[in-house]
Amino acid sequence: MYWNKSILREWNYREICWWCGSAELSREHKYKKTDINLLYGSNFFQNDKLGLLRYRKSNELIKIHGPDSDYFKFQKSLCQNCNNARSAKMDSAYTKVIEFYLNNEQTIKGSKFIDFKMIFHDSWLEDKRNFYKYCLKHIGCRLVAANLSPSKNIVAFLNDDEPLKDVKIVFQLKQYFVGDPGDEVFHLYTGPLNRFEERHLIIGKKITAAASWYTLKQFSINYLYRLGILHSDKDIFSSSLINLDFVDFKAIEGQQFQIDSKEPQTSYGKLVEYMEYFPFNGVLQDLLHYQYLKGYKS
């Protein structure tokens, strides 16, 4: 019988931590608490900006009353130790990178890269790894929420046992505005987790890849999960830089978008989705995004 090693496994262990196997589960944030505070301010939930961050459930608009709301968290899939003590350095490295981005946004937009030496100095290599590990922790929780198993390589990379091979990460800058030119977009956005199948002899279609992204303001972390997508991570960690792919919106300059006054949240949501996917739009947008990540060379 033919068996393809690239098939992604399902996750069927709802009562254990996907990282270490412990049963003392907690909930990891989809949107990091510090991200919310850095982007909107610590008083976000006490002022009139509350309307900027709401979730739709059926026809109801649900207000979020604080950064610890369950709407900001994954289902329980990590234990308390992995979610806190084991990943503390990863969380810290990620937060420092985001702080640096927000404090140096114009310079970064000009250079199209982030230099980890400027953030971490002599410890740049260790902390660049920790930054990637934080991304992998988020991706692992995202996979489990979609009933996909994080690979052994993801866990081994988090444990410093193997180079990263199963996840490719591409960073983007998305300089779009909604309204008048110069109006910045302040939002957190998580793209859908799109799954891709391949047909195999006898066993039929099976999932062999998954892709998505996370955007903070205009900085996007895109990822493609496919077994063996990287031969090694040598190129990633040989330099203190991460290159940022600049998304050019000139092709739609002057185009007008209508917000339906009867359903403004829905209209705005569709507009943001269009911009977040751009330039991959239409019925093939998921596939085009996947092909972009698969073929991207920094």
pLDDT digits (tens, 9 = 90+) for 114-162: 999 999 999 999 999 999 999 999 999 999 999 999 999 999 999 999 9
HSE-CB at 207 with a 13 A cutoff on CA atoms is 17
E strand or H helix that includes residue 54? strand 54-57
Give me 50's structure tokens. Answer: 């509350």
| pTM (predicted TM-score) | 0.90
Tokens 């985001």, located at residue = 98
5 vs 192: CA distance, rounded Å: 25
Confidence of residue 34 (pLDDT cuts 50, 70, 90): confident
Name the H helices within 174-284. Answer: 234-237, 264-277
Give me 212's structure tokens. Answer: 């998505």
Q: Is the pLDDT of residue 48 over 60?
A: no
Q: pLDDT digits over 211-246, tens only?
A: 999 999 999 999 999 999 999 999 999 999 999 999
For residue 181, cis peptide bond before it (omega within 30 degrees of 0): no
162 vs 182: CA distance, rounded Å: 44
Give me 225's structure tokens. Answer: 């999960």
Give the β-pairing of 25-26 and 78-79: antiparallel
165 vs 225: CA distance, rounded Å: 9
